[in-house]
Structure 1
């Protein structure tokens, strides 16, 4: 990952059903990315496995994006059909939850993993000076899940990935990183390959329950904010009702999305930056803000206080001490 990525935590709090999934999500900081991998069954260490990768929550203006993977021995893959693994978008929430719990119950034959990518991590990446696109965030998460499976001794033979961008280019990139693996990158892989469908379900269920147990550090009590998609009227109302005129939105919101930017335009204070013109050429020059302050002798300063998490979580730093 690049330097823009928020600190990631990998925890071993066990997940074996929906209740423990919610507990896992509830006890993790919304400001940090978090990853989890289930216990790897012995059969996945002994026999060649297929591994599928898909995401949930790429488009919404609210909440995290979750990448998921599922892995199972090739000689056991008929179990995925028995569990009725299908594209998560084609299933209702109740059916997805049921399939997820059944995946957990078959922990002796298959495993799964997820990475929950925090909204502020996505925004910091997309708005940083060194551009780090959502496609690259997605690819790096998929790569991280493959590495996690390999590091936990999963005997991966073939990887199936639902594409972002052009599948041919993505597949070539993954093959350059994992030359020992067979790799298939395809459009709509979640509706074509059952192992990708299983990964899609793990990702979608994790995102849904992450939103259900979301803890607002800003003190907001509201629990209904819609699907998170830009066209949802409930989501639009949430953005309008919870836009601070100075600080903007709560951390749940991906402020780099145009839907959020438009809401800011209509509800937040406008800031005008004065242009400084060179008297001779009339051209605009950049003057460092530090030029407006006297230099301070560091030895005369009191011990520096710990900075508020509002600034550290958003990667904001001071260039001069006041």
Structure 2
């Protein structure tokens, strides 16, 4: 796997894939779906599919693929290398979603929550395999949210495919275990080789696990929060852990829909750019004036 593509753009998404084995265009195939990095506050979330002909499923099992969470990093790397060596019947594809994409999706005007983003990404990868000519007849998916609802949604999207969605599918079905290994190896590499576009002083590469309850991760966030511009793009700023640190460590922001009197007072972000006397209060943005919108001060 060439991970150089992961380093080119930290703001969007990146898709990587193996060549499609010729046999997968001729024979019925089974496909597994899993992800890595759903919970961390740092780094991307990676969705992966892995597929092989039903006639070679026993050969995939013989590689002793297992839930990636139960394996060491070196063991995952070795298994992924073994899958690459067997590219004559094993194929895979990845969708790498940057922290910036995740956060802007969740905090946009039209909310796009993590479950919906996960479901759509998984469906997109299944469709990608079909578009590449893979003869997918069975799909196994590690669930996000209620498995029954998720399965019904995928079954409606792919009526000609037998879809199974279950909790802990990565421990039940070898093809999902293989997908989990692909996803975890890719995320580990993306985190390890992250290219910071920000000029960070005394950059500390010891992030900890990246999970919100990890003391090392919290310490890293506090160290690298910038009072005006917030966190580097490595951070999912929509996570509550990041938002709490911003509220405590960063400068207050005054939005244009705030009452005019709120423009007065210390510790506003504009103070960083005003060397002289404080500017006069601004009127609300034109968007609010044209629509006759005012902040609600009381509910009756």
**Whole-Å separation in 1 of the counterparts to 2:10 and 2:34:** 21
Aligned to 1:230: 212
Per-residue Cα deviation, 1:183-210 (whole angstroms, up to 9, x for no partner): 0011110000000000000001000000
Indicate whether 1:51 and 2:18 are aligned.
no
Alignment partner of 1:60: what SS?
coil
Aligned to 2:46: 66
Picking from 25, 38, 52, the partner of 2:6 is 25
**Whole-Å separation in 1 of the counterparts to 2:154 and 2:206:** 39
Picking from 17, 36, 40, the partner of 2:16 is 36
Asked whether the 8 Å contact 2:221–2:242 carries over to 1, the reply is: yes
**Whole-Å separation in 2 of the counterparts to 1:191 and 1:291:** 52
TM-score by length of 1: 0.79
| Unaligned ranges ≥5, structure 1 | 1-14, 16-20, 278-286, 294-322
Equivalence map 1:252-263=2 (5 Å): 252-263=234-245
**Whole-Å separation in 2 of the counterparts to 1:42 and 1:186:** 29
Q: Quick one: structure 1 residues 291 and 157, their matched pair in 2 at CA, closer, same or farther if it must change by over 3 Å?
A: closer
Q: Quick one: structure 1 residues 63 and 75, their matched pair in 2 at CA, closer, same or farther if it must change by over 3 Å?
A: same
Indicate whether 1:245 and 2:227 are aligned.
yes
**Whole-Å separation in 2 of the counterparts to 1:70 and 1:167:** 20
Per-residue Cα deviation, 1:51-85 (whole angstroms, up to 9, x for no partner): 00000000000000000000000010112222111
- Residue 23 of structure 1 deviates from its aligned partner by 2.9
Per-residue Cα deviation, 1:242-269 (whole angstroms, up to 9, x for no partner): 0001110000000000110111122111
Equivalence map 1:4-19=2 (5 Å): 15=1
Aligned to 1:275: 259
**Whole-Å separation in 1 of the counterparts to 2:288 and 2:109:** 24
Indicate whether 1:177 and 2:157 are aligned.
yes
Aligned to 2:298: none
Alignment partner of 1:175: what SS?
helix
| Unaligned ranges ≥5, structure 2 | 262-282, 290-300
Aligned to 1:190: 170
TM-score by length of 2: 0.84
Aligned to 1:312: none
Picking from 123, 134, 157, the partner of 2:114 is 134
Alignment partner of 2:195: what SS?
coil
Alignment partner of 1:67: what SS?
strand
Alignment partner of 2:213: what SS?
coil
Indicate whether 1:116 and 2:100 are aligned.
no
Asked whether the 8 Å contact 2:260–2:284 carries over to 1, the reply is: no
**Whole-Å separation in 2 of the counterparts to 1:276 and 1:24:** 47
Picking from 145, 148, 154, the partner of 1:168 is 148
Residue correspondences, number: 264
**Whole-Å separation in 1 of the counterparts to 2:242 and 2:284:** 30
Picking from 66, 86, 103, the partner of 1:106 is 86
Alignment partner of 2:33: what SS?
strand
**Whole-Å separation in 1 of the counterparts to 2:288 and 2:24:** 63
Aligned to 2:135: 155
**Whole-Å separation in 1 of the counterparts to 2:248 and 2:76:** 38
**Whole-Å separation in 1 of the counterparts to 2:287 and 2:47:** 45
